[in-house]
Chain A
């Protein structure tokens, strides 16, 4: 139980285009989802937190108009990188927490990540 998937696993796009990444909780209800970014050989940096049905909360320094987050259901959150530029190339990882096997849990379950390359 507690499986999180991401789609796509990798994407290459041209500069100036927008890219949408999906994060799904497959077998539990995710009341909260988190989006992280990881540059090569660096740690994970939290970008934003989203609660189902409400607006995302962005960490300091993260542009909310550039990284659009939608958490419209208890199993799906999306991150859209708008007008992507080469410096947005990174590994994007989502995580989810919520009700697992009937219990509310504080543990975050991580997706497999999406590698974005902007040319």
Chain B
């Protein structure tokens, strides 16, 4: 059974600081997604990572994937208040319809 673990679950950081959110998964998968969710809203797609060593960047966020270690990271550079949200990683569960299994989410609060 595919399990997806995120840490930390809650992150409070000062503006201008850097930090990394980690996403570990338990069985082989070749597709991993990162999403952002604002309170009361649905998911906004941030990144899809398809292969070992993949790195994608958008603004102050950078995501990477190591399929051998079954680990993805979401790195935040010089955080700003607008990045405050909940971030989820989700991994495709192969077989039986390629369903997504979500991590628990990381609540990020960026303090001014």
Contact = CB atoms under 8 A, between A and B. Distances in A.
A111 interface: yes
Interface string A95-106: 000000000001
Interface string B31-50: 10001000011110100100
A106 B31 contact: yes
Interface residues of B, number: 21
Given A106-B92, A107-B48, A113 B42 contact: yes
A110 B43 contact: yes
Contacts of B41: 112-113
A93 B43 contact: yes
Ordered nearest first, which 6 A-B pairs have the shortest CB separation?
Answer: A113-B42, A110-B43, A43-B102, A112-B42, A44-B102, A43-B104
Interface of A: 32, 34, 41-46, 49, 57, 93, 106-108, 110-113, 115
15 contacts: A32-B97, A34-B99, A42-B104, A43-B103, A43-B105, A44-B90, A44-B102, A93-B42, A106-B31, A106-B98, A107-B45, A107-B48, A108-B100, A110-B42, A112-B42
